[in-house]
Amino acid sequence: MDHGLEGKRALVTGAGSGIGLAIAEALALEGAIVALHGRNLERTEMVRQSIKSSGGNAISVAADLLDPTEIKAMCTDTLTRLGGVDIVVNNAGLADFAPVQDMNEEMWDRIMDTNVKAPYLISRHLLPAMLEAGEGGVFLYNASTCGKAADANWTAYNSSKHALLQFMKCLAMEVGEQNIRVNAICPGWAESKMARAALRKTAEVSGKDIEETYQNTMRGNMLGTLIGPESLADMAVYLSGRHGRYITGQAINVCGGVNYY
């Protein structure tokens, strides 16, 4: 299936591993030129070399998403080296949990700054170039099914994803007439470094075996199966390409069928 992504210029944040890596590889396979964001240039350079060896085209860019100055510099670097941008995938995120009475401001701010402020800043810095080009474009946000749910002890994380969904919808309304589509992908528990870390902490807090926690959580959906990063990458490619041309302002679950979202 031709998604019409040949020659498109894309930025993917958190492209060094997990879902971001899968999305970056999938976009490159479809012919897009991908800017691979990460804090660790050594890691993203390894990804770039892997994409290159598979016949794809990518560059590496770096920024600490807790630093607005670095975010702006990374966006400028991306625009300069790619000559513009057509697809922006705000994938990078941070997860942590604690009861409200035990949560300190540092945890709250770190999660909000990474999951909400950074995507806002990246979108704000890159949107003018997309508008000036006048050829439309795509913004995607990794919002998680937690953006549609309430979970005890996950107040900061769920709140950040709720906020990201509302930001996505408002932006979609602002730029729709310029043929810029804005959507969110909402994964359930998917195999990733961040998910593994969260599960380890969950097991420690609950006193349960890590493998039991893994099975109950990661496979706790209607299909009874683990959601692989490639499933999220497939959705990202669909939404970025011509087959998703009439989809905007939507938060699409890729969760294996979790029945309370």
Q: Please say whether the dihedral angle defined by the alpha carbons of residues 255, 217, 12 and 143, taken in this order, is positive or negative.
A: positive
Q: Please say whether the dihedral angle defined by the alpha carbons of residues 83, 20, 88 and 67, taken in this order, is positive or negative.
A: negative
- 3-state per-residue secondary structure call for 207-232: CCCHHHHHHHHHCCCCCCCCECHHHH
Give 66's DSSP letter. Answer: T
Alpha-helical (H) ranges within the chain are 18-29, 41-53, 68-82, 105-112, 118-133, 155-175, 193-206, 210-218, 229-240
Catalytic site residue 141? no
Tokens encoding 95? 């997860």
Q: Which of 141, 157, 214, 238 is catalytic?
A: 157
* Burial call 116-141: b when 16+ CB within 10 Å, e when fewer: bbbbbbbbebbbebbeeeeeebbbbb
| Integer CA distances (angstroms), 197 to 22, 44, 150, 171, 187, in order | 19, 21, 20, 32, 16
Q: Find the angle CA(241)-CA(242)-CA(248) to the nearest 5 degrees.
A: 80
Question: Which residues carry out catalysis?
Answer: 157
